[in-house]
Structure 1
Amino acid sequence: MSHTVLAIGTAAITASGCVWYLPAIADLQAGDDRPRSVRTAAAACVLWWAALALAGGLLLAVPAWQPAAQVALAGLVAGVLLRIRAFAQSRAERREDRLRWAMLDAGPVPRGPRPAAVALVGWLLVGLAVSSLGALSILLAGGGALAPRLAAAAGSAVAVSGAFLLVGLGNARRHRP
């Protein structure tokens, strides 16, 4: 394969890589508005693509393929080293952020003076409303004799009210001082 075909292929790949290196260039131009790890990772990305573009240019200018391969390999190695450095910087930034947020933490939010009985009454009222609406919908659904519908309505009302009572008691016990 001729060097011209390889150079054209490299140029096409480099041009299609703009979805990576153009945002990286924007991150580099942003300067201190971006974290250091983001800028280092962006520099690695730009270095990879610049080395590939330079290798494509060398394929056109130099008759041997070894200089282009050496430039591409050097760009790859330097980019990987920058990427490793960016990862280490990112870990340090996250550790520093966790430390700063921990310094701002004032501990658990103190509970209000609301007694557990008020919460239990709330659960019971909601349970009563839900069970009443369920029983009413069973009774108004129609179809069949009245006695089985009354039994189903009463059974479902007792079951739903009992479930809300159990949830309310668990909540009251958990919020006991």
Structure 2
Amino acid sequence: MTHTVLAIGTAALTASGCVWYLPAIADLQAGADRPRSTRTAAAACVLWWAALALAGGLLLAVPDWHPAAQVAITGLVGGTALRLRAAWDRRGEQREGAARWAALEGGPVPRSARPAAPALVGWLVVGAALASLGAVAVLLSAGGGLASRVALAGVSGAGVALAFLLVGLGNARRQGR
């Protein structure tokens, strides 16, 4: 493969990388409006893409591929070092932010001292009312014999009442915490 083909491929790759290096350039231009870690990571991104673009230009200008490879590797190593520094700075910024938020917090939010019993009674009353209405509706229906309707009304009413009892107990347990 000739150097010209490699240079054209490198130029196409560098042009398509604009989705990374153009926002990075904007972060660098913003200056102190961005955190230090963001600016350092942006510098790493720009260094990576600039080294690749320079390597593509060297492939066109110099007949040997070694200088282009050396520039590309230097950009890769330098960008990686900057990216590691950005990660280090980011961890420091997160610790500092956590300390600032901890200083602002006044402690845990106190829970309400509402007793759980009224809520449980409410669930039980609603459950008993629905179970009773359902049982009456089953008894008044015209399907099947009287014994089967009584059994179905009793089982369905007990099931509805049990479901409301369990929901009410779960609610009372959450309020008690």
**TM band (smaller chain):** 0.7 to 0.9
Counterpart secondary structure, 1:63: coil
Alignment of 1:77-96 (within 5 A): 77-96=77-96
Measured at CA, do residues 92 and 129 of structure 1 come closer, stay the same or move farther in structure 2, by a change above 3 Å? farther
Code of the aligned partner of 1:61: A
Gaps (5+ residues) in structure 1? none
- The correspondence of residues 1-40 of structure 1 with structure 2, limited to 5 A, is 1-40=1-40
In the other structure, the counterpart of 1:58 is 58
C-alpha RMSD of the superposition: 2.8
State the one-letter code of the partner of 1:96: E
Give the TM-score taking structure 1 as reference length.
Answer: 0.83
Distance 2:141 2:67 in 1: 85
Q: CA deviation at 1:27?
A: 2.0
Q: Which residue does 1:108 correspond to in 2?
A: 108
What TM-score do you get using the length of structure 2 for normalisation? 0.83
Runs of 5+ consecutive residues of structure 2 not aligned to the other structure: none
Identity level (%): 72
Q: Give CA-to-partner distance per residue, 1:83-129, whole Å, 9 cap, x none.
A: 10111111111112222222222222223342222222232244335
Mean CA deviation greater in 78-87 or 167-176: 167-176
Q: Name the CA distance, whole Å, in 2 between partners of 1:120 and 1:46.
A: 63
- Aligned pair count reads 177
- Return closer, same or farther for 1:2/1:161 CA change in 2, 3 Å cut-off: same
Name the CA shift for 1:70/1:104 in 2 (closer, same or farther; >3 Å): same
Bigger shift: residues 24-33 or 42-51: 24-33
Q: Equivalents in 2 of 1:22, 1:136: separation in Å?
A: 72
Three-state SS of the structure 1 residue aligned to 2:50 is helix
Whole-angstrom CA distance in 2 between matches of 1:133 and 1:28: 70
Check 1:32–1:153 CA distance in 2 against 1; reply closer, same or farther (3 A cut).
farther
Give deviations 1:38-87, integer Å, cap 9, x for gaps.
22111111110000000101111112111111111100000000110111
